[in-house]
Amino acid sequence: MSYEPAPRSDEAMAALRPDLRAIAEMVPVGVRALDLGCGNGELLEYLTVHKQVKGRGIELSEEGVLACVRRGLSVRQGNLQEGLADYPDGSVDYVILSQTLPFLDDPAMILHEMLRVGSSAIVSLPNWGYWRCRLELLLTGRIPKAYDLDQRWHDSPRWQALTVTDFARFCEQIGVQITQQTYLSRGRRIHVRKIKNLRATTAIFMLIKAE
Per-residue pLDDT of the chain (211 residues; tens, 9 = 90+): 444 555 677 888 888 989 999 999 999 999 999 999 999 999 999 999 999 999 999 999 999 999 999 999 999 999 998 889 889 999 999 999 999 999 999 999 999 999 999 999 999 999 999 999 999 999 999 989 898 888 888 888 889 999 999 999 999 999 999 999 999 998 899 987 789 999 999 999 999 998 7
**Ramachandran bin of 99, using left for φ above 0, alpha for ψ from -120 to 50, beta for the remaining angles:** left
- What domains can be seen in the chain, in order of their start residue? 9-209 (3.40.50.150)
Q: What is the pTM of this model?
A: 0.91
Return the bridge partners of 183, or none: 190, 203
176 close to 97: Cβ distance less than 8 angstroms: no
User: Is-contact 117 89, C-beta < 8 A?
Assistant: yes
Rg (Cα) of the chain, in Å, rounded? 17
